[in-house]
Amino acid sequence: MTKQRLSRVIYPGTFDPLTNGHLDIISRAATMFDEVIIAVAASPSKNTMFTLEERVKFARDVTRHLDNVSAKGFSGLMVEFAKTEKANVLIRGLRTTTDFEYEFGLTNMYRRLMPDLESVFLTPAEEYAFLSSTIVREVAIHGGDVEQFVPPIVAKALKLKKNV
Ligand code: ADP
C-alpha cells in the first residue's frame, strides 16, 4: 500500500485585520486538509493598522475551536516560510476576477520558486465576496459598525484603535 502524504497547507496574508471572509476560507480549508497554518505576513511596507503580534493573536483566538489550525507570523519571502514549515499546499481566497488575475500571476512565480507547493483557490460564501480588510479599516476609521464583518475580538480591537 502506498503511504498517503499528509496535507500541510499554508494560508498566507496580511490579515490587517482578519475578517469573516478570511475565517470562511480557513474553516473550509480545515475540513479539506490535515493541517492548516495561517501565515501572517509582517508586511512592513504596508504600514499596517495592527502589529504583527496583534494580527497573529486575532488568527489564534478566532480559530481556537479548530484543532488542526495554527497561526504563525513570518517576514520575508512566503515560499521560504512555506519551505521551513514543510507545507505542500498553498491556499488563496478568490473573491472576484480581479483577485484571479493577481493570484494567477503570483502562482506562476511561486511555482518557479517552489515547484512542490501546489496552489489551491477557495471561494468564500457569497456574503463575503466583497469584504476586504481595507474596507473594514475604512469603515472603522469613520466610526461605522464593523460587527457584521469581523469576529467579535477584532471588532473590539478596531473600536479601541479608533479611540487611541
Ligand atoms: P494580502 O496581503 O495577501 O492581500 P489579505 O489579508 O488581504 O492579504 O488576504 C489574504 C488572502 O485571503 C488572499 O488570498 C485574499 O484573496 C483572501 N481574502 C481576503 N478577503 C477575503 C474574502 N472576503 N473572501 C475570500 N478570500 C479573501
CA 5 to ligand 1 centroid distance, Å:
27
Q: Is 131 in the pocket of ligand 1 (CB under 6 A)?
A: yes
CA 100 to ligand 1 centroid distance, Å:
11
**Which triple of cell numbers denotes residue 12?**
498566507
What tens digit of pLDDT does each residue of 86-138 get?
999 999 999 988 899 999 999 999 999 999 999 999 999 999 999 999 999 99
Going from the C-alpha of 106 to that of each of 12, 102, 112, the distances in angstroms are: 12, 7, 10
Q: In what helix (H) or strand (E) does residue 110 lie, and over which residues does it extend?
A: helix 97-113
Taking the CA of residue 12 as reference, the ligand 1 atom at the shortest distance is 10
Q: How far apart are CA 63 and CA 23, in angstroms?
A: 8
- Domains (range + CATH), the chain: 8-162 (3.40.50.620)
pTM: 0.94
Mean pLDDT of the residues in the chain: 94
